[in-house]
Structure 1
C-alpha cells in the first residue's frame, strides 16, 4: 500500500561532469512546492579544487554520507536520496552503508549497481580525468533529446572532467538490506517496460534492479538529462516519490 506523508529532506546528486548547479531549476520547482532539497557537488567535480583529478569513489561516497548526517537523518527521520546517471556508484555505496537512514532512493535515468561494478575498467591509469566528450560522441552513449543549443552550451561550459580514480574503482557492496529500501526509478531515455525486460534478462547494467524488493517505475519520456529538458516534471516526480513512505 502506498501512503502519502510529509516530504523528507531531499539530497540531489548529479552524474558525471556535473555539480550542484545542474539541479538549479529542479530545486526552484521543489522549493516552490515546499520541499527542502539540497544539491551536492561531489569531490572531484569542483572546478576550484586543484586536486580534483585525484579524488576517489570512496571520497564521493563519504561526501554523500556527510550530507546525510548533516541533514539530521535518523532511522525515525530518514532522507530521500536522488541519484542521476553515474552518481549511482557513490549513492549505491551509501545505501549499502546506511540503509536505515534512507527513506527512499530515486534514480533518475539510472539505477543501482551490482557489487564490484566498475564504470570504466579499461580506462588506462595514465588518464587522470575524463572530460565531457564531444556531443556527437556523447549522443551515441546517452540521449540528448530535449536539450536546446543553450543547454548544451551551458553543459559544455560548466562540465568538469570526471576523476579517473572514480571511474576505475570497483563498487564495494555487502549489505543486502540496501535492496529493501523503497526505490523509484524515473525512466527517461529507456522506457520502463524495456528496463524491466532488460532487468529480467539479467543485463549487467540492470540486473540489480530485478533484486529490488520495493520498486516503483515512473516514465518521464525525454533524454538523459531531464533536470534540464523537463525540470518541472522531474521535480514533481521526485517530490511525489519522496513523500511516500512505502
Structure 2
C-alpha cells in the first residue's frame, strides 16, 4: 500500500528513513513528504497552507494511501483527509491529534525572527524523551529546523465533513490508549469525537518512535494498512 509519511515540527522527511526501509521490506510504498519551510534557508517563507498543499499533492500522486502524521503533523494528515476524503484510505496519527477548524496549528513556543526554533529538551523531559540518550538528543536537536511563523500560527481550515468517515488509527507512544480515549471523551479532541471509526494502538516509546522504534512503528503501520 502507498503510505504518505509526514513528520512533526522541526523535522525533515529524512527522519522517516528507517521506518520507510522497514515498510518497503513489508511490500509497501512509503513517501515521506518534505514540507515547505523545513529547509535551512526557507523557514520564514512557507505557510500552513503550503504545508497542507504539499501533503495533499502527495495524496494525489498516490493510490488510496494511508496518511501518517506525527505529533503536530497529525493535523496535516487530518487536513489531507478533509481535502481528499474519497482518496485517503486511513489516517494514522502518531503521538498527536487533529486540530479543529478555526484553531491555530501549533503556536506552542516563542517565535524568533519569523520562525519557531526547537526549544531544547526542557519541555520534553519525562516520557517524551526517556528513550533518547544524550547523544541521540544532541543529534536530533542539531537536525531540527525552525518552524515558519506562518506555519506555527496558521489557522487550520476544514471544510468537508466526509473526513469523519475516514478510518483513524491513533498510535499512542508516550501516552496510553486509555489516556487518549479519556481526552476524546472529555471533549479535548472534538475531531476524533466526531469520527466514526477510531482505533487506538499502544507503542512503547517516547515521542519520536520513528527514531527509537522504527521497526515497531513500521509493524503498526503495516497492521493499519491491513485493517
SS at 2:86 equivalent: helix
SS at 1:99 equivalent: coil
Q: How many residues align?
A: 227
Mapping of residues 26-175 of structure 1, within 5 Å: 26-47=19-40, 50-71=41-62, 73=63, 78-120=64-106, 127-139=113-125, 143-175=128-160
| CA offset digits 1:54-77 (Å, max 9, x no partner) | 200000011111112222x3xxxx
Could you say if the C-alpha distance between residues 180 and 29 of structure 1 is closer, same or farther in structure 2, counting changes exceeding 3 Å? same
Per the alignment, residue 196 of structure 1 pairs with 181
Could you say if the C-alpha distance between residues 122 and 156 of structure 1 is closer, same or farther in structure 2, counting changes exceeding 3 Å? closer
TM-score (norm. length: structure 1): 0.86
The alignment's C-alpha RMSD in Å is 1.9
Per the alignment, residue 208 of structure 1 pairs with 191
Per the alignment, residue 221 of structure 1 pairs with 204
Aligned counterparts of 1:122 and 1:239: Cα–Cα separation in 2: 32
Which structure has more relative contact order (CA 8 Å, sep 6+)? It is: 1
Contact 1:44-1:54 at 8 Å conserved across structures? yes
TM-score (norm. length: structure 2): 0.93
Aligned counterparts of 2:33 and 2:107: Cα–Cα separation in 1: 26
Per the alignment, residue 5 of structure 1 pairs with none
